[in-house]
């Protein structure tokens, strides 16, 4: 039986879960209907163009989430090494952030990637740029801070995806802890 959803934002979590579990190419309207309890008419009410609108919606949600999350990194409360440590530690507990990383990775591997390259790049670049900005405050040139930040972001993505392929969440947790330790030990003292 179909149920009533009053907020489109209620659909972010189920769509995100479906895209993470089945990849962008593997999700069907029937699967969305089953996961959300919505009838097909309601789904097309929210997403008139079907899956492409769903992907756009989740991408916009990912961007909003990323901006909110990155605010912690650039907020005045967390500065320097403490801010970087808090930011990296947040990956150990923030399953929504990891789901968005998973979604972005699955989108990058889908045949839809070409039409979303700008958004995929933006998600990656925003994360790298904001982390680089904090690292540069530790006395590094902008280019050196960018290189460090890019290595951290690639490590986060790679460790998470490898952890998923191993079906071993502890691998990801251990890698983030090691990454945090290496980064903090190697950053200049403030």
Neighbour-count burial for 126-149, b at 16+ CB within 10 Å, e otherwise: bbbbbbbbbbbebebeeeebbebb
pLDDT tens-digit map of 52-102: 999 999 999 988 888 877 776 666 555 667 777 777 777 777 888 888 888
pLDDT at 98: 84
Determine contact, residues 91/180, Cβ cutoff 8 Å.
Answer: no
Among 4-8, 153-157, 163-167, the least confident range: 4-8
Which of these, 173, 149, 154, 165, lies nearest to 95 by C-alpha position?
Answer: 173
pLDDT at 12: 94
Higher-pLDDT residue of 51, 112: 51
d(CA 107, CA 116): 8
Per-domain boundaries in the chain: 58-186
DSSP 141: -
Four-way CATH pick for 58-186: 3.90.1150.10, 3.40.50.300, 3.50.50.60, 1.10.357.10: 1.10.357.10
pLDDT tens-digit map of 30-41: 999 999 999 999
Which of these, 139, 108, 96, 126, lies nearest to 9 by C-alpha position?
Answer: 96
Supply angle C-alpha 187, 188, 190, rounded to 5. 115
Q: pLDDT > 70: what percent of the chain?
A: 90
């Amino acid at each position: 039986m179909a149920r009533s959803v009053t907020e489109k934002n209620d659909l972010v979590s189920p769509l995100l879960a479906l895209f993470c579990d089945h990849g962008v190419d593997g999700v069907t309207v029937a699967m969305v209907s089953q996961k959300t309890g919505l009838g097909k008419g309601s789904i097309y009410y929210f997403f008139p163009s079907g899956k492409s609108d769903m992907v756009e919606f989740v991408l916009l949600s990912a961007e909003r989430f990323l901006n909110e999350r990155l605010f912690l990194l650039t907020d005045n409360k967390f500065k320097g090494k403490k801010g970087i440590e808090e930011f990296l530690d947040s990956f150990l507990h923030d399953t929504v952030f990891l789901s968005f990383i998973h979604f972005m990775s699955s989108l990058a591997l889908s045949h839809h990637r070409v039409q979303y390259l700008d958004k995929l790049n933006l998600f990656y670049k925003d994360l790298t740029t904001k982390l680089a900005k904090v690292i540069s405050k530790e006395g590094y040139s902008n280019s050196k801070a960018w290189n460090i930040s890019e290595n951290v972001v690639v490590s986060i993505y790679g460790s998470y995806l490898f952890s998923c392929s191993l079906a071993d969440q502890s691998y990801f947790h251990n890698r983030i802890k090691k990454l945090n330790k290496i980064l903090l030990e190697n950053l200049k003292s403030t």
